[in-house]
A = this chain, B = another copy of it.
């Protein structure tokens, strides 16, 4: 079975700064335990508010990676 198979995991990254940082934080964390990270898709962008400001951006993403055979 030489056709590649990928697995997708769903993560929520957070950051006080930006959507991009929230995604990067989730990807960095995934990279600690998963090899061959290949792509991501943003599923949802939310956040919590504190004192009338965005406190944390919360970005849910799916991350796809190659499953070794």
Q: Which residues of A contact B (CB under 8 A)?
A: 1, 3-31, 37-42, 44-49, 52-54, 56-57, 60, 62-64, 67, 69
CB within 8 Å for A52 and B37 given contacts A5-B11, A11-B7, A14-B4:
yes
For the complex, would chain A's binding face be called helix, strand, loop or mixed by DSSP majority? Answer: strand
CB within 8 Å for A40 and B29 given contacts A3-B13, A5-B11:
no
Determine if B11 and A26 form an interchain contact, defined as CB atoms under 8 angstroms apart: no
Query: What is the total number of copies of this protein in its complex?
Result: 12
Given contacts A1-B28, A5-B26, A42-B46, 17 further A-B contacts (CB under 8 A): A3-B21, A3-B56, A5-B11, A5-B12, A5-B25, A5-B29, A9-B10, A10-B10, A10-B62, A18-B20, A20-B54, A20-B57, A24-B53, A24-B54, A30-B52, A38-B49, A41-B44
